[in-house]
């Protein structure tokens, strides 16, 4: 009895055994990346250091409550993403904590999008001694901008990047009624004003397009389920999704299912091209007899859909499956793993409509115009703009065309020597937590001096570089 007491209560011993089992599973899956973990830990410390005693515990409880009461609904178009928008910076902090303390209970897609920024904050925080006003900026990030933190995170990363290049950096306070830039940087008797602007992660058009597609899939999935074949569809849409009839997919499936070949073209018209492929259930069943697979992960999609469901594809999956729950997970939705699949169908979508591509390829002209207004008229300035490239390569090619037409021809009556456009693409992968790419395009005046001006602001300075864009 005394020995048991020295080892803790029954609950404490159970928790310790669970934690030990989780560590063993993580090691069996490939272990931890100590360097990446140290960067995330430093980033987490940076984000939490300005919080009052007990504040994070209260915010964390609200995040967990929001996750546990997340109404998924029966209609896919209305399903909420696993994301806490009311406290988005708290969501960043929560994901970083989960990755360090309980990585089996995490949403891999959200982690892949958010943790590269936390990691970069941690990796670059070693240069904070060169920055004035960082504490006040962190207070704004955690308070005033807690529901929309991405722009402020970009400002802080840009400040760190200049500090890493040997500049003394000062965050400039806002002056009511007056346009002011974000940063003043000084080095070797040179003084520059810096303005940072970041575009929202997705366009309203892209979100509406997703909902329009899911509405049509919702109407069709019952036909596929009734058919009982294991199928994966590839849908290439040649018009705007909102122009397709509501029963477009349903009508196609009613006419073409079941299919009698391994792969068949079930519809080919001016509106869309739809192909269907039978899923070989035997290797899938074998895989699940030996492995658990995270729900809502690129690994699960690729196991089921193969090369029609790569991490870069937009996919929707319906299945009848047996799932398991990780013990002691704060939110069940984060700890669900698939044990076995009894039936599955999925669909990958590509929208190649010119009108749709053009609508999603948001220009940065307005973003640039707003940035120019912030900088002084008679002092040398540099502008850093950021966008996320989440909507496909064709969209980014079109955006590049717009950028090339906008920035070089942009008439500026101010001493803006350089505009740098940072294009980010974070994504979950099947073999690591995240893959992050940053393309930097530079547009400068002929007289600009670019030595010591940072290129990438998220990726580490020693990252591998190549010519071209990540969407080429």
pLDDT at residue 8, rounded to an integer: 58
pLDDT at 472: 60
Q: Please determine, for residue 372, whether its predicted confidence score (pLDDT) is greater than 80.
A: yes
**Integer Cα distance of 234 and 306 in angstroms:** 12
pLDDT at residue 464 greater than cutoff 70: no
pLDDT the model gives residue 52? 92
Percent of the chain with pLDDT over 70: 87
CB-based contact 310:274 (threshold 8 Å): no
User: Any idea which residue has 């002209």 for tokens?
Assistant: 365
DSSP state string for 235-247:
EEE-S-GGGS-TT
Alpha-carbon distance 66 to 331, whole Å? 9
Confidence of residue 414 (pLDDT cuts 50, 70, 90): confident
Read off the tokens for 348. 């990958």
Distance CA 330, CA 18 (A): 13
User: Which DSSP string corresponds to 36-72?
Assistant: HHHHHHHHHHHHHTTSPTTHHHHHHHHHHHHHHT---
Residue 463 has pLDDT above 80, yes or no: no
pLDDT attached to residue 363: 79
Between CA 333 and CA 69 the distance in angstroms is: 10
How much of the chain, in percent, has pLDDT values that exceed 90? Answer: 63
Q: What is the pLDDT of residue 179?
A: 85
How many CA atoms lie less than 13 Å away from 59 in the CB half-sphere? 22
- Judged against a pLDDT cut of 50, whether residue 17 lies above it is answered with no
Q: What does the domain layout of the chain look like in residue ranges?
A: 1-26, 204-356
Average pLDDT value for the chain: 87
Q: What average pLDDT does the segment 435-448 reach?
A: 88
Q: Average pLDDT for residues 271-285, to the nearest whole number?
A: 96
Residue 31, pLDDT above cutoff 60 = no
- Check pLDDT > 50 for residue 40: yes
Q: How would residue 119 be classed by pLDDT, with cut points 50, 70 and 90?
A: very high
Has residue 264 got a pLDDT over 80? yes
Q: Facing residues of 349 across strands?
A: 235, 314
**Cis link prior to 258 (omega < 30° from 0)?**
yes
Whether 21 has a pLDDT exceeding 60, the answer reads no
């Amino acid at each position: 009895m005394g020995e048991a007491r020295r080892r803790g209560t029954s609950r404490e011993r159970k928790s310790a055994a669970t934690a030990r089992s989780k560590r063993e599973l993580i090691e069996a899956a490939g272990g931890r990346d100590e360097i990446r973990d140290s960067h995330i830990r430093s980033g987490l410390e940076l984000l939490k250091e300005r919080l009052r005693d007990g504040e994070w515990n209260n915010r964390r409880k609200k995040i967990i409550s929001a996750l546990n009461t997340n109404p998924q609904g029966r209609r896919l178009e209305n399903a909420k993403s696993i994301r806490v928008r009311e406290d988005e910076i708290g969501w960043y902090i929560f994901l970083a904590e989960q990755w360090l303390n309980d990585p089996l209970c995490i949403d891999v897609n959200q982690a892949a999008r958010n943790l590269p920024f936390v990691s970069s904050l941690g990796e670059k925080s070693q240069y904070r001694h060169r920055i004035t006003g960082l504490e006040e900026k962190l207070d704004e990030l955690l308070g005033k901008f807690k529901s929309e933190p991405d722009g402020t995170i970009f400002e802080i990363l840009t400040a760190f990047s200049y500090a890493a290049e040997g500049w003394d950096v000062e965050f400039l306070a806002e002056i009511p009624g007056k346009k002011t830039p974000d940063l003043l940087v000084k080095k070797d008797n040179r003084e520059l004003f810096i303005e940072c602007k970041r575009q929202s992660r997705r366009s309203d058009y892209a979100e509406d397009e997703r909902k329009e597609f899911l509405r049509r899939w919702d109407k069709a999935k019952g036909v596929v389920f009734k058919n009982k074949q294991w199928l994966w569809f590839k849908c290439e849409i040649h018009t705007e999704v909102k122009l397709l009839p509501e029963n477009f997919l349903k009508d196609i499936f009613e006419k073409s299912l079941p299919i009698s070949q391994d792969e068949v073209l079930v519809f080919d018209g001016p509106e869309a091209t739809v192909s269907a492929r039978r899923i070989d259930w035997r290797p899938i069943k074998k895989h699940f007899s030996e492995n658990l697979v995270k729900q809502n992960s690129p690994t699960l999609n690729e196991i089921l859909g193969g090369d029609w469901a790569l991490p870069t594809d937009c996919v929707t999956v319906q299945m009848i499956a047996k799932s398991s729950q990780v013990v002691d997970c704060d939110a069940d939705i984060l700890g669900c793993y698939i044990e076995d699949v009894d039936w599955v169908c999925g669909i990958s979508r590509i929208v190649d409509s010119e009108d749709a591509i053009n609508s999603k390829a948001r220009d940065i002209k307005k973003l640039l115009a707003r940035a120019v207004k912030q900088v002084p008229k008679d002092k040398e300035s540099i502008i850093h703009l950021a966008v996320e490239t989440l909507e496909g390569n064709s969209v980014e090619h079109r955006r590049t065309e717009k950028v090339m037409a906008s920035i070089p021809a942009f008439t500026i009556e101010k001493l803006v020597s350089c505009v740098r456009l940072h294009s980010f693409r974070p994504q979950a992968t099947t073999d690591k937590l995240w893959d992050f790419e940053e393309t930097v395009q530079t547009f400068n005046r002929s007289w600009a001096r670019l030595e010591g001006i940072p290129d990438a602001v998220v990726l580490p300075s020693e990252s591998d570089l190549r010519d071209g864009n990540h969407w080429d």
